[in-house]
Structure 1
Amino acid sequence: MTNFALRLLILFSCVVLTACSSSPSTHETAENNQQALVDRDSLMQVFKVWQGTPYRLGGTALNGVDCSAFVQTAVKEALHIPLPRTTKQQVNVGFEIDYDEAKIGDLVFFKTSWQVRHVGVFIGNHQFMHASTSKGVIISRLDNPYWASKFWHFRRVNTRL
């Protein structure tokens, strides 16, 4: 095989292999980003209804709600994904993901004490919405020292992500 033919074969092989790569297209990335914005807007609409609702253990209504009931409602109303009622059940739904892979709509779990667990919904930019025992339904930051020290893991329940 001549030197020219060998170079041509190598160049052709590189082009073919690059075309078969699995990196997402710009179109797919744009669609994913658009869907994330739609999901965030939907979650924020639910948040606005519930914002300031006081925390009540076992509560499921606007006069008092606990963290898992708020998450169950928010994810059902905004993302149309049914979740079980309790944090203990929710922690078994979907699959665990790494911190740096979190996307809008993922569940974020915390270990607030030896046996107590807390859950919220990730809304991007290091923020999550949840029902706080002291402040009711609010938005908090994952990089807040309290929440950062209690962080457990993320779970993906949205199969579109």
Structure 2
Amino acid sequence: MNSVILSRACRVVLGLGILLVAACAAPPKSAQAVHPVETTTVESALYDQYQAWQGTAYRYGGMSKAGVDCSGFVYLTYRDQLGMQLPRTTLHQSRIGQAVSPQQLQAGDLVFFLTGPNTRHVGIALDKHRFVHASKSKGVVVSSLANDYWQQTLWQARRVY
């Protein structure tokens, strides 16, 4: 066997072993990548998810097309489209990854809002201006971050991949 091919195969096996050990040892509050996704693919995957879920009704605690809440939609999107395991709740999702400014938003960044004294909301940035989320009034929709309501309630943005 060609030594270059053998060397690459050894690096892949070693890398997979390291990833497996790291995933088992990782704290539960971090996102765990099943496979990395390129940024250009993220936007396409998000639009695929949006098209499949568009209009799905909001249901607190929901995790299906019969009804889904905001953190459930984020959880399912990351799992099914991006191959990453995120925490299930908005609060726990808000504690993972790295903070980014709204001006630095990229497709796949999580955007968090404080919509009431003890109420949080989460969506996924499609770009610097729009995000997809499970809205209580409209179900799964794309909204503008330029909207006054979303600008006033924006709490933070986080990059988890």
TM-score w.r.t. length of structure 1: 0.74
Deviations 1:4-60 (A, max 9, x none): xxxxxxxxxxxxxxxxxxxxxxxxxxxxxxx43321011111111111000000111
Residues 108-127 of structure 1 deviation map (CA, whole Å, 9 limit, x = unaligned): 00000111000000011400
Which protein shows a greater Rg?
A: 1
The 5 Å alignment of 1:78-117 reads 78-117=81-120
Amino acid in the other structure paired with 2:157: F
Does 1:49 find its partner at 2:59? Answer: no
State whether residues 105 and 128 of structure 2, in contact with CA within 8 Å, keep that contact through their aligned partners in structure 1: no
Whole-Å separation in 2 of the counterparts to 1:52 and 1:153:
25
Task: Report the CA distance between 1:75 and its aligned residue.
Answer: 1.4
Amino acid at match of 2:48: Q
**Counterpart of 1:136?**
139
Q: TM-score, normalized by length of structure 2?
A: 0.74
Work out the percentage of aligned pairs sharing the same amino acid: 43
Which residue in 1 is equivalent to 2:8?
Answer: none
Query: Aligned to 1:134, what secondary structure does the other structure show?
Result: coil
Task: Quote the RMSD (CA, aligned, Å).
Answer: 1.0
The one-letter amino acid of 2:57's match is P
Segments ≥4 residues shifted beyond 3 Å: none
**1:67 matched to which residue of 2?**
70
Which of 120, 125, 131 does residue 123 from structure 2 map onto?
Answer: 120
How far off its partner does 1:88 sit? 1.1
Q: In structure 1, the residue corresponding to 2:84 is in which secondary structure?
A: coil
Is contact 2:103–2:128 with CA below 8 Å preserved after alignment? Answer: no
